[in-house]
Chain A
Amino acid sequence: MSSDQDHLKETDTEARFEFKKEQNAAVKSDKGLTEEVIRMISEDKDEPEWMLERRLRALKQYHNMPMPSDWPGMPDLSQLDVEEIIPYIRPDVDKREGVDDWTELPDEIKDTFDKLGIPEAEKNALSGVGAQYESEVVYQNMQEQWEEKGVIFMNMDRAVQEHPELVKEHFMTTCVPPSDNKFAALHGAVWSGGSFVYVPEGVTVEMPVQAYFRMNSEGMGQFEHTLIIAEEGSEVHYIEGCSAPKYGTHNLHSGGVEVFVGEDAHVQYSTVQNWSKNTFNLNTKRAICEENGTMEWVSGSMGSKATMLYPCTILKGRGATDTHITIAFAGEGQDIDTGAKVYHNAPDTSSTIESKSISKDGGRTNYRGLVHIADGAENSSTAVECDALMFDNESTSDTMPYMEIEESKVDVAHEATVGKIGDEDIFYLQSRGLDDDDAKKMIVAGFIEPITEELPIEYAVELNRLIELEMEGSLG
């Protein structure tokens, strides 16, 4: 990569001026999406030929696909210029695949994660933490007891090297092919980092597996890929947290999540995301659920300028179950367009979707959902419930569910309500001695409780704290 090396030197100099925080990137790509950039990423990762081919094919698909444009009320993406995004930055960490010991991390990275409380979470006897900084996973740990049972939890890039057969079979093939949508194609071309989780047959991972993603550089894109394979009868809970500071130019986060839920397996996937308010957050998350498998999505969407995220479950095997619990919070200038997609493709499948949203200071939330019940998916049932809470008249809240029902022996229900904070509730709390702000906070805490009670305590606390900060308007 001699010619690439030359250009990297240049960008390195540039980087010193660009970065808000003093930081040395070991490798930083050009802006925009060209074959050279893709080849450079792949080469830097020392990837096998087949992965490079997949990237290049995805890049072609990306260029051939139109931007989504004809969705009613979709967020404004006009300020997103993918050609101005730097798709790849590898921080200066000695071992590319991450380090085993937290203390070996460069100080600036350690500081950031310290502030976010990640080491604490790990110290508190959690099974494993993966931390991604920019495009690379810099820290990864997995408790030995799980390793002995054959559980794999590692950085996705390393998985390509060490578990090529598993990755080859599952990576953006049947679950989220790049052809799925423009941003899935983009992701397929430039993906970097993320988590690989493999749980063998019958193994229950009792502690949640965690990863934290942090974007620090201005104008970069983060494209981490998460692949979870839960074999027959296994059980795992994966949690990711995401954040980025605010900069003047726009960041792009376009992650890809693929979950394979085997027969009788149970996977819970929890996200608390708090991207900076200049980030476009455009993800594709999908699970395929085999017979009697259970998929649970729990997500808290705070932050970002615009989010378009509709975690999807395909209930492929008889008796498979899906649960979605989501909360969205949109403050000033934010457009959080999120929801859930469920395909009932087998008999006796069931799904429940519970969506809560809060909008404040001109923010917009939208629930956009699709429930599809295929012909032959008899005795399937689905229940969708959306509640929106609005704080003021500058805010907007929409609900756009779609229900495609091709089978008669089903039970389908959708319900949505929108309302302002009840004056009576506030009055009641005030008469008990709380001031207006505290009363509102308490009502919101009660409103989102169904979400927080699904999360481990650290995340529930973090979510509550984030919402409290939003309510005070003190989060930049």
Chain B
Amino acid sequence: MSAGTQVHANLTEAQVREISEGLDEPDWLTETRLEALAALEDLDMPDVIRTPGRDWTNLHELDFESLVDPLNAAEDKDQVGPEDAEVLPWAEAVQEHEELLKEHFGSIVDPQENYLTALSTALFSTGTVIYVPEGVDAEDVTVRTEQNSRSLFNYTLVVTEESSSVTILERQSTGAEQDEQYYSGIVEVAAGENSYVQYGSLQNLSEEAYNFTVKRGVADTYATIDWIEGNLGTQLTKTEVSTTLSGDSSETQIVGAFYGHNDQHFDLDAKVWHRAEHTTADLVTRGVTDDVARSVYEGVQDVGKDAWDTSSYQRENTLMLSDESEADASPKLIINNHDTEASHSATVGQIDQEDLLYMTSRGVNPRAARNMLVEGFFVPVLEEIDVDELRDDLQELIGARLRQRE
């Protein structure tokens, strides 16, 4: 653990026990939390992109000690879904589905993977378990979290049985405006054979907030996991969305949209691990940086030795609206099986001046023309979103942000 991040100094076993007891958790879960707490001492921050002499995102700068207030979590939560699927608040899931939790909790995201996952595991006080039984098609599962405290740790588990499907819309926002907040979320998705999961997420926390999120899924044979990741809020977001394609013929799509303005900093990872035959991945991210905002994008397509007949595609496009903003990108291909079709591309640029001229010459005022071009830039991403509500909300938030601009 590097110097400077000393949050564990003011965390105690007693606090963790209090959280766990409050949720009436079984002993094994309390133990898992306590082990994560104890591990904090030795764990480092999550990996960030580094080039010689430079960390692209500096997580050590954050003052976790003042940000984390473990016993004062407060939120306003909506957890709803159709009757044939189970959408359970954490405390209820602990009572009703202990075996399910024992099987899956921490199996996809290792609680001790890094300092922030361990912190989240030790301290999470709220969560949702979404369980979709065999053959059930569950639409419009909604998990809305409004953060009303200095820190909030959230955990989500999605388990789909064979041949089921689910579309989930998760939203994070800030309630009564706080000065500085820390929101941490871990999402584990276990997609059973031939099941389909679309997990859409819209992060619109206050611009004073810090956010750390890991969303990770494992897809069984013929399963599909599609992620949609919209990032608009926070002053600093470090987030990873990834899928392990562990079953033959499994598929994943990761669609990302972000819009950074003022001094926002987004560190966004999209990763796919091809670990079986005939798997397919498609990663599409589009984002805007304005003012002095900064985006850091890392995309990984990792094709394992046994991943025969892989198709893997990745695109990342950033539009820079201001000269003071920064956009860094590192799309990585790691290929260990030659029976692979893989490509990635990344571009950074500004609004096409010819397009702008064309529109203004047709009588559109320059500001409206620019806004239309930015909205048009997001269309390929919006088109991939199945859930109408998510698409509309994202579009509206992008529009509102554009109109805030001079």
Contact = CB atoms under 8 A, between A and B. Distances in A.
A162 interface: no
A400 B342 contact: no
Interface string B186-210: 0000000000000000000000000
Contacts of A419: 340-342
A contact patch SS: strand
Interface in B336-363: 336-350
Contact of B325 (A370, A402, A408, A414): A408
A399 B328 contact: no
Contacts of B327: 403, 405
Given A404-B51, A414-B329, A393 B337 contact: yes
Nearest to A408: B320
A408 B51 contact: no
Given A405-B327, A408-B320, A408-B325, A399 B344 contact: yes
Contact of A396 (B52, B56, B336, B346): B336
Contacts of B320: 405, 408, 410
Nearest to A399: B333
5 contacts: A393-B338, A403-B328, A405-B348, A410-B320, A418-B340
Nearest to B305: A393
Contact of B346 (A370, A378, A413): A413
Given A405-B318, A405-B328, A410-B350, 20 more contacts: A375-B323, A390-B335, A393-B305, A393-B338, A398-B332, A399-B331, A399-B332, A401-B332, A402-B49, A402-B328, A403-B327, A404-B51, A405-B329, A408-B321, A408-B325, A408-B350, A413-B345, A414-B347, A418-B333, A418-B343
Interface in A160-213: 181
A416 interface: yes
A400 B332 contact: yes
A399 B338 CA distance: 14
A375 B327 CA distance: 11
Interface of A: 70, 72-73, 181, 370, 375, 378, 388, 390-393, 395-420
Contact of B348 (A391, A393, A399, A410): A410
A420 B340 contact: yes
A408 B344 contact: no
Contact of B347 (A388, A401, A404, A413): A413
B345 A414 contact: yes
Contacts of A418: 333, 335, 340-343
Nearest to B348: A412
B333 A398 contact: yes
B335 A405 contact: no
Nearest to A373: B348
A417 B324 CA distance: 32
Nearest to B345: A415
Interface of B: 49-52, 56, 305, 318, 320-350
Contacts of A72: 332
B272 to A, nearest CB: 14
Contacts of A400: 330, 332-333
A395 B49 CA distance: 26
A354 to B, nearest CB: 15
Nearest to A372: B51
A388 B335 contact: yes
Contacts of A388: 333, 335
Contact of B345 (A391, A402, A416): A416
A397 B335 contact: yes
B343 A416 contact: yes
Nearest to B336: A396
Contacts of B49: 402
Contacts of B330: 400-403
Q: Specify which of A391, A401, A403 lies most central, judged by the most chain B CB atoms within 10 Å of its CB.
A: A403
Contacts of B342: 417-419
A358 to B, nearest CB: 11
A470 B51 CA distance: 33
A416 B322 contact: no
B354 to A, nearest CB: 13
Given A404-B51, A405-B320, A408-B323, A397 B348 contact: no
Given A403-B329, A410-B350, A418-B333, A395 B338 contact: yes
Contacts of B333: 388, 397-400, 416, 418
Sorted nearest first, the 8 A-B pairs with minimum C-beta distance are A390-B338, A408-B320, A412-B348, A399-B333, A420-B338, A417-B343, A415-B345, A418-B342
Nearest to A369: B330
A416 B350 CA distance: 22
Nearest to B307: A393
A70 B320 CA distance: 30
A411 B347 CA distance: 8
A285 to B, nearest CB: 16
A337 B49 CA distance: 18
A420 B346 contact: no
A409 B338 CA distance: 38
B323 A409 contact: yes
Nearest to B339: A420
A391 B340 CA distance: 11
A293 to B, nearest CB: 25
A410 B349 contact: yes
A401 B343 CA distance: 13
B343 A398 contact: no
B329 to A, nearest CB: 5
A370 B332 contact: no
B338 A391 contact: yes
A377 to B, nearest CB: 11
Contact of B326 (A73, A405, A409, A411): A405
A72 B332 CA distance: 10
A370 B329 CA distance: 10
B348 A370 contact: no
A407 B340 CA distance: 35
Contacts of B326: 404-406
A178 B318 CA distance: 36
Nearest to B325: A408
A448 B341 CA distance: 19
B198 to A, nearest CB: 28
Contacts of B336: 393, 396
A263 to B, nearest CB: 27
A390 B340 contact: yes
A396 B335 contact: yes
Q: Specify which of A378, A404, A413 lies most central, judged by the most chain B CB atoms within 10 Å of its CB.
A: A404
A387 to B, nearest CB: 9
A402 B321 CA distance: 21
A119 B205 CA distance: 71
Given A404-B51, A408-B325, A393 B339 contact: yes
Nearest to B353: A409
A405 B287 CA distance: 14
A406 B294 CA distance: 9
A413 B333 CA distance: 16
A419 B333 CA distance: 12
Contacts of A414: 329, 331, 344-347
Q: Specify which of A73, A388, A395, A399 lies most central, judged by the most chain B CB atoms within 10 Å of its CB.
A: A399
A283 to B, nearest CB: 16
A391 to B, nearest CB: 6
